[in-house]
């Protein structure tokens, strides 16, 4: 295993230059309940486009037939955007093509079940979406603002907030906070500070100078790019080393923040189970996530700054890595490699 820019317990990652480790994939098995989880994953399995059940969404106010490929991607079957791939804005569901995610105490198979559940929730239909031709993502997909679908995914713990430009909308962050505190869906067995949402090999576009991996904050939905020149092998796993405050340090830091004359009122409505990954992200990256509005975020950041400099209370240790297995697009749905097909 090769480690790059791993964070240290005192300083975290240098700025937002995220540390990564690349290692060969290690397939995990459930120690209990393996049969039930695997059976559900197979039942929900990947469908071909022709077999995907139809749904109806209200596209710009008009009922429109649609097919959801996963929790955040669909294709409309009528209207001005017919047969175009559409990506739901500000929300991301876990990858549903195989057991590729690893974080917390959940196995890749358990997280795959959460991804499949997100797809089935989206296929219920009835969602209200606004779409224009002007807004597209890096893959050329149209972007749709679907507030009710986004909130349903996040409140169920079947997706997470995802923004390319600063923090995600507050209504989505509120829904995600609810799921994290209740440990629903993907958060049931742990909430990391950072998620890996996509990994890319330099061999995909050799004419470009570098490739990237995308990382996302679990507390404010901001996303970041880690640029690299690595050529990944199929089924290689990219992992992000992370730090976490010790339980005793977390209790002490939160106690001081809640007693702080400015930070205390700001954090009054936030549960400790949500603030834990918030503090862990600070320990890992040195960045203070924007979980509150800009008018008070500066006060919160200023209250945290002196605490980070106190070695007697700010004690961080290495936490479980968060990983995503690399599978090129052409092998995700046909000629699938062993890491997607073996139990």
* Tens of pLDDT, residues 142-195: 999 999 999 999 999 999 999 988 899 999 999 999 999 999 999 999 999 999
* b/e per residue 18-55 (b: at least 16 CB within 10 A): bbbbbeebeeeebeeeeeebbebbeebebeeeeebeeb
Q: Specify the pairing of strand 142-145 against strand 62-70.
A: unpaired
Angle between helices 170-182 and 147-155 (to 10 degrees): 20
Out of 7-11, 39-43, 243-247, 311-315, which region has the weakest mean confidence (pLDDT)?
Answer: 39-43
Instruction: Give the Cα separation of 90 and 72 in Å (integer).
Output: 10
Q: What is the pLDDT of residues 190-215, one digit of tens each?
A: 999 999 999 999 999 888 888 999 99
Query: Using 50, 70 and 90 to split pLDDT, how confident is the model at 343?
Result: low
Higher pLDDT, 228 or 51: 228
What are the Cα distances from residue 41, in Å, to 65, 98, 128, 236? 26, 9, 28, 22
For residue 206, the model assigns a pLDDT of 83
pLDDT average, residue stretch 291-311: 95
Query: Using 50, 70 and 90 to split pLDDT, how confident is the model at 65?
Result: very high
Q: How many CB atoms lie within 10 A of CB 130?
A: 15
pLDDT average, residue stretch 235-251: 95
Asked whether 99 and 111 are in contact (CB, 8 A), the reply is: yes
Average pLDDT across the chain, whole number = 86
What are the Cα distances from residue 299, in Å, to 252, 257, 264, 280? 19, 11, 10, 19
Angle between helices 247-259 and 272-285 (to 10 degrees): 110
pLDDT at 6 over 50: no
For residue 162, the model assigns a pLDDT of 96
DSSP tag of 3: E
Domain residue extents for the chain? 50-192
pLDDT at 126 over 80: yes
For residue 321, the model assigns a pLDDT of 87
pTM comes to: 0.85
Q: Which tokens belong to 130?
A: 């606004």
pLDDT at 52 over 70: no
Query: Using 50, 70 and 90 to split pLDDT, how confident is the model at 39?
Result: very low
For residue 299, the model assigns a pLDDT of 96
Third-level CATH fold of 50-192: OB fold (Dihydrolipoamide Acetyltransferase, E2P) (2.40.50)
Instruction: Give the Cα separation of 219 and 265 in Å (integer).
Output: 19
Q: How many CB atoms lie within 10 A of CB 189?
A: 13
For residue 132, the model assigns a pLDDT of 84
Q: Which tokens belong to 299?
A: 């006060």
Q: Which residues have C-beta within 8 Å of that of residue 127, sequence separation ≥ 6? A: 57, 58, 146, 148, 149
Strands (E), the chain: 2-4, 20-24, 54-59, 62-70, 73-76, 85-88, 91-92, 101-102, 128-136, 142-145, 160-161, 194-199, 211-217, 223-228, 236-245, 316-325
For residue 33, the model assigns a pLDDT of 37
């Amino acid at each position: 295993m090769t480690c790059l820019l791993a964070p240290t317990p005192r300083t975290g990652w240098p700025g937002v230059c995220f540390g990564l480790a690349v290692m060969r994939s290690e397939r995990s098995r459930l120690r209990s309940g393996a049969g039930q989880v695997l059976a559900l994953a197979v039942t929900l399995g990947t469908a071909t486009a022709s077999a995907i059940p139809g749904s109806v969404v209200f596209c710009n106010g008009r009922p429109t037939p649609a097919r959801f490929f996963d929790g955040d991607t669909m294709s409309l079957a009528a209207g001005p955007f017919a047969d175009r791939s559409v990506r739901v804005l500000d929300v991301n569901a876990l990858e549903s093509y195989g057991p590729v995610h690893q974080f917390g105490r959940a196995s890749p198979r358990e997280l795959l079940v959460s991804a499949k559940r997100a797809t089935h929730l989206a296929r219920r239909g009835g969602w209200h979406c606004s779409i224009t031709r002007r807004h597209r993502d890096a893959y050329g997909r149209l972007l749709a603002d679907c507030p009710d679908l986004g909130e349903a995914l996040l409140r169920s713990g079947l997706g997470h907030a995802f923004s390319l430009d600063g923090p995600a909308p507050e209504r989505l962050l509120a829904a995600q906070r609810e799921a994290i505190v209740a440990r629903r869906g993907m958060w049931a067995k742990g909430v990391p500070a950072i998620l890996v949402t996509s990994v890319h090999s330099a061999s995909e576009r050799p004419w470009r100078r570098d490739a990237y991996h995308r990382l996302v904050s679990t507390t404010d939905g901001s996303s970041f790019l880690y640029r690299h020149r690595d050529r990944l092998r199929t089924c290689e796993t990219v992992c992000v080393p992370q730090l976490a405050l010790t339980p005793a340090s977390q209790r002490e830091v939160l106690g001081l923040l809640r007693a702080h004359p400015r930070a205390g009122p700001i954090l009054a409505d936030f549960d400790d189970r949500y603030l834990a990954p918030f503090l862990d992200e600070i320990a890992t990256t040195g960045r203070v996530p924007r979980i509150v509005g800009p008018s008070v975020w500066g006060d919160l950041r200023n209250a945290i700054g002196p605490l980070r400099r106190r070695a007697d209370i700010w004690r961080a240790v290495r936490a479980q890595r968060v990983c995503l297995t690399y599978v090129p697009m052409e092998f995700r749905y046909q000629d699938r490699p062993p890491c997607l097909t073996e139990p």
